[in-house]
Chains A and B, each alone.
Chain A
Amino acid sequence: MGGDGGGSFLALDELHVRFSDTVTIGPVSLTIERGEILALLGPSGSGKTTLLRMLAGFERPDGGRVRVEGEDVTAVPPARRRVGMVFQHYALFPHLDVGENVAFGLHGTRDEGRGTGEVVAQALALVDLAGFERRKVQELSGGQQQRVALARALAPAPRVLALDEPLSNLDPSLRERTRRELRTLIKRIGITAVFVTHEQEEAFDLGDRVAVLSAGRLNQVGTPEELYERPANLFVGTFVGRANVLRGAAARALGAAHGQVVLVRPEQLRFGAGGSALSGVVAERRYTGAAAFFQVTLETGERVEVQAAPDAARVGERVRVGATRTLCFADQGG
């Protein structure tokens, strides 16, 4: 595959689709660099899966374009698009064994001549399942099934890897480790990858950049740091990371203008001495080890969460709270 580096590797241009009068996805424009991992993050119904399915060719957009290496693939059917897909429930073929599943996509490709068995063995070795060819799909654990799905998607050497909630079917205890392994593997192969998730932690851990969607709209694309430190709007600010949202008098006390809303993260609040703007009573303390989260009921009636050293305050104590950093947004009500 050539690729002279001119323009981005994968581009979605003004992609949009309309399901009904009230449900519209897009228009969304995104570019993804070669070898980059992009996370599509959003609550359910935000259109992230639809976007992924338009990329893979399962959903036809009402307008806009999908380009891979400058080639317009919008009208190319999934079978000829060379986008490898890992499905949420893996969609492994239950009537075929592991080897046959992985070999399925090698039909009619140049690799068939080179010996399908060799390619299958390589793909399985890649996901740490060497020698699993003759196993039945049903005999595998959830984590193994996920890796077979990955090997199957990678075996035909696709240009792009698409993953639909790839970790949602795993035990929580397995998820974090698998996440790390998945990222290492994708980076080692160097394939461009797009994956869908509704969990911020997963998006931050696995993605080089994260695209935040809500109600069919793209809110912001950026690195995890950018999203956390400089959210484009209140939705991104609250969806990504913990956040206190203050309005009215409390907001003005933290420096907001009239009609603005203040977003301040728990670690950006501290109990303090003079100059602290808010006062209230500690209602609850939740200990997490290195730090503790304190729920403070302000005199204005609002509650804020403060992250501080575990011994910074006691429940029932009257405290003053100051902010080291705040973000102000225009208040759109709510």
Chain B
Amino acid sequence: MTRDGGRRGAAGWGVALTLLLAWLVLYPIVLLVLDGMHGDALRAFAARGGEWHALWASVWISLASVVLAAVIGVPLAFLFEWFEFPGRKLLGSLIALPAVLPPFVGVIAFLFLYGESGFAARFLQYLFRFQQAPWHLQGPGAILLVHAYSMYVYFYLFTRAGLARLDAATIEAAQALGAGRWRTLTRVILPLVRPSVAGAALLTFMTSLGSFSAPYVFGGGFRVMTTQIFASKQNGEMGVAMVETVALALVALAGLALLRRSEGDAILAGLGKGTAPQRRTLRSPLVRLGTTLAGWGFAVLLLLPHATLILVSLVPYATWTTETLPPVLGLVNYGRLFAEPERLEPLVNSLWMAAASTAAAVALSLAAGWLVVRRRAALRRVIEGLLALPWALPGTVFAVALATAFSVSAPLQLRWVLVGTVMILPLAYFVRNLPVTGRAILAGYRQLDPALEEAAASLGAGPWRTLRRVTLPLLRPALAAGASLAFVGALGDFVTSILLYTYRNRPISMEINAALRVNEMGVAAAFGVVLMVVSAVVLGIGARR
């Protein structure tokens, strides 16, 4: 380890980066708390029953989402990691597909599929000659359905990764000690994958706590905290919105602290190395057939929203009214997307804002990786904490905090008026991207043998050549993974955008929302398909080794 002059030299950079990060991620939150904690707003918040209802709704919806997602995701992970059956590989990757649907796009796909005038309802109406749609897709049940669909992926992927890292020898050891199947499962396997499952639980809890799209579209009269904040801001009650935001932030931090405490750092720790257990081929033909059919059936169910989105995107405006299936299909909507300048603009906006915010987050994370891992700067723990902070708080919280911090011109307090300008939204994307790129790049840096960079130096390479020829090429998988996740996140963002966009930089999600309002389902779906395809391509590139 270099505990020498380099460390002293890095101290200055460490302080500079810490201050920059503090200004970006901590300062807005501090200002939010300071500005928001006024007597009037606090009293108004405390007096209204709706506020407490919404807060409680946020908590129980999140907990229920965790349970539902776990019930679907964990058994699937065991099935795909432990058993061999026809189509396992293909299905195993199909099953992660909800991940390529940005939250808001997923929600509208659900609307087209299971909504009152969606395909499912029309189909049942056609079958049973109902006069009306057999259900309303509204309220907490609808929200939970969307959450379970989009978040079981966390449990599925985390548990599979945990199972894959299991050392077969530990299972064999248990069996050699006389443990039966059940005892091996409960006493050895489950405790070993618990950190992975807990990680997924934490991620699901935080995601549904911050979830906005599903409650916004399906909530109806049922409010959670994120929609409550949006409503207050729309009503011009910025003070109340701030108090609500602080309340939501406190719940998020409490949830994080509770889970981290009960699991310790085991959540983030890896498991032992070794050879993963061999997959068991299902022998009984009946079980084999059943599993295969169930697997494919499930995959079709998962792919229905994607298919629906594509189908609706092909329906020209006002050609589909009461028919079960759309009578006319065509590429008109895509033509309008690329031919009409006012429709092309949101696409361009989203692309440049996502690209710029991702590039900035990657650059800052690289600097942080170098200081934290290589130089072991004195403030490395603070830097890591600041990088991770935006992850611990829902997107709504950051949007309101940035809106608070940058609505005042006070250069001496390092505050400028950015609200209402084009800059505030990419800034928000950038801050929200930091945990994603930071985590990936720091992990990549930690796996990089410092001797490689020293070898470059001993061969006469200066810092830039070492970075360009050795460090960056070796960090490429981590960079690609972090950057692609960040890019896709920013590209499909809805919650930050709806609070901070201006007409001049309106992103795709706002255009989809606008199209829905005027019943241009086809255009909305076409935008959704574009988002879905770009996301899938970018994630595919990012996952390549």
Q: How far is the CA of A156 from the CA of B449 in the complex (A)?
A: 23
CB atoms of A58 and B473 under 8 A apart: no
> B451 near A: Cβ within 8 Å?
yes
Chain B proximity mask over A153-164: 1 for CB below 8 Å, otherwise 0: 100100000100
> B454 near A: Cβ within 8 Å?
yes
Which of A84, A91, A95, A105 interacts with B473 by CB under 8 Å? A95
CB atoms of A78 and B458 under 8 A apart: yes
CB atoms of B460 and A60 under 8 A apart: no
When C-beta atoms are compared, the residue in chain A nearest to B451 turns out to be: A91
CB atoms of B449 and A89 under 8 A apart: yes
CB atoms of B452 and A60 under 8 A apart: no
Interface centre among B2, B456, B458, by most A CB within 10 Å? B458
> How many residues of chain B get a CB closer than 8 Å to chain A's CBs?
22
Which of B5, B449, B460, B465 interacts with A91 by CB under 8 Å? B449
Chain A residues, CB < 8 A from B12? none
Majority SS of interface residues in chain A?
Answer: loop
> B63 near A: Cβ within 8 Å?
no
> How many residues of chain A get a CB closer than 8 Å to chain B's CBs?
33
Which of A59, A60, A82, A87 interacts with B455 by CB under 8 Å? A87
A37–chain B nearest beta-carbon distance, Å: 19
Chain B residues, CB < 8 A from A91? 449, 451-452, 454-455
| Known A91-B449, A105-B460, A107-B461; further 7 A-B contacts with Cβ < 8 A | A78-B457, A79-B458, A81-B458, A95-B473, A104-B456, A107-B460, A152-B459
Q: How far is the CA of A167 from the CA of B458 in the complex (A)?
A: 20
> A66 near B: Cβ within 8 Å?
no
**A contact residues vs B (CB 8 Å cutoff):** 17, 19, 56-60, 77-85, 87-89, 91-95, 104-105, 107-109, 152-153, 156, 162
> B3 near A: Cβ within 8 Å?
yes
A292–chain B nearest beta-carbon distance, Å: 41
Tell me the chain B residues, 424-457 only, with Cβ under 8 Å from chain A. Answer: 449, 451-452, 454-457
Chain A proximity mask over B453-495: 1 for CB below 8 Å, otherwise 0: 0111111111001000110011000000000000000000000
B295–chain A nearest beta-carbon distance, Å: 36
CB atoms of B455 and A79 under 8 A apart: no
CB atoms of B3 and A19 under 8 A apart: yes
Which of B6, B454, B456, B470 interacts with A60 by CB under 8 Å? B6
User: Mind listing 5 A-B residue pairs with CB under 8 Å?
Assistant: A57-B458, A107-B460, A107-B461, A107-B465, A152-B455
> B323 near A: Cβ within 8 Å?
no
CB atoms of A104 and B474 under 8 A apart: no
A194–chain B nearest beta-carbon distance, Å: 13
A108–chain B nearest beta-carbon distance, Å: 7
> B265 near A: Cβ within 8 Å?
no
CB atoms of B4 and A104 under 8 A apart: no
Q: How many A-B residue pairs have CB under 8 A?
A: 74
CB atoms of B454 and A87 under 8 A apart: yes
CB atoms of A153 and B4 under 8 A apart: no
**A56-B458, A60-B6 known; A87 vs B451 contact (CB < 8 Å):** yes
CB atoms of A77 and B457 under 8 A apart: yes
Chain A residues, CB < 8 A from B4? 17, 59-60
B355–chain A nearest beta-carbon distance, Å: 25
When C-beta atoms are compared, the residue in chain B nearest to A18 turns out to be: B3
CB atoms of A58 and B470 under 8 A apart: no
Chain A residues, CB < 8 A from B459? 79, 84, 104-105, 152-153, 156
Q: How far is the CA of A80 from the CA of B460 in the complex (A)?
A: 6
B318–chain A nearest beta-carbon distance, Å: 56
Q: How far is the CA of A87 from the CA of B457 in the complex (A)?
A: 12
Chain A residues, CB < 8 A from B454? 58, 78, 85, 87, 91
CB atoms of B461 and A79 under 8 A apart: yes
Q: How far is the CA of A131 from the CA of B449 in the complex (A)?
A: 28
CB atoms of B455 and A93 under 8 A apart: yes
Q: How far is the CA of A81 from the CA of B454 in the complex (A)?
A: 12
Q: How far is the CA of A256 from the CA of B465 in the complex (A)?
A: 62
Which of B3, B452, B456, B458 interacts with A84 by CB under 8 Å? B458
A21–chain B nearest beta-carbon distance, Å: 14
CB atoms of A93 and B452 under 8 A apart: yes
CB atoms of B462 and A79 under 8 A apart: yes
A95–chain B nearest beta-carbon distance, Å: 5
CB atoms of A59 and B474 under 8 A apart: no
**A105-B460, A108-B460, A109-B460 known; A58 vs B455 contact (CB < 8 Å):** no
Chain A residues, CB < 8 A from B3? 19
B393–chain A nearest beta-carbon distance, Å: 37
